[in-house]
Chain A
């Protein structure tokens, strides 16, 4: 059951990811990217990491991709995409070289990978649950977590400050 689900979602993820690249219309690319996030979240759920799945959807699908869509909707897409992208030989060569390099890096990185084989006797299936995640975050990774929290607070305060009216500025 889980295995067939995994293969289903994995193939769906790959399909969506490919569609992101080959879609002509950028808006469709974004929608397929959102679908990709969904299938990745499905993988997280299969791994019993519900928190990660939810946060993945909230942060990536719910916030970041909305901003992507924002930008794409304002720039004039659909028209003249073919014209602006110069398909000359130089671009093709650059694309091939970059793709080949990426492929090499991926192969080199995956060459020495040993798949983690958890011991079924000691393996805790609840490791991805919120409680365990929270415990780890608030003990082992306390300092990085706090630093990230401060970073977020600063950015939020910054956003509020940008929204504040300057003295002398007149809106309406």
Chain B
């Protein structure tokens, strides 16, 4: 090395220049709870089980989503619709339980594509939040089904 290189001072000054440039740079941080990152329109977030225009659940428990799921995150049990439940379930067969394990789910959206009744969707504005217990990651119908419009406006 030459003498000027061995003194390291020019190199140190260069390094200081780089760090001071970063000092004044715009920060990449997003202060999460206050602001969220701009998401894509086709962002695949938390699942929702849709209701139709009358407020009846669209899901008919055909099981195509569970078959399509590459992570095998979806389980369900089917049941027959009783008399007088027509306003609750659209088809004669409905899902008594419907569970998505959010620890298994890879949010690929194949369930959405497989669904013939357009019942399951991945929302673009909600995430599966962090929880303390593993059990809490298994989302049942209570947390998946879209709330009724009437309860929402209340």
A–B contact via C-beta, under 8 angstroms = no
- Chain B residues with a Cβ under 8 A of chain A: none
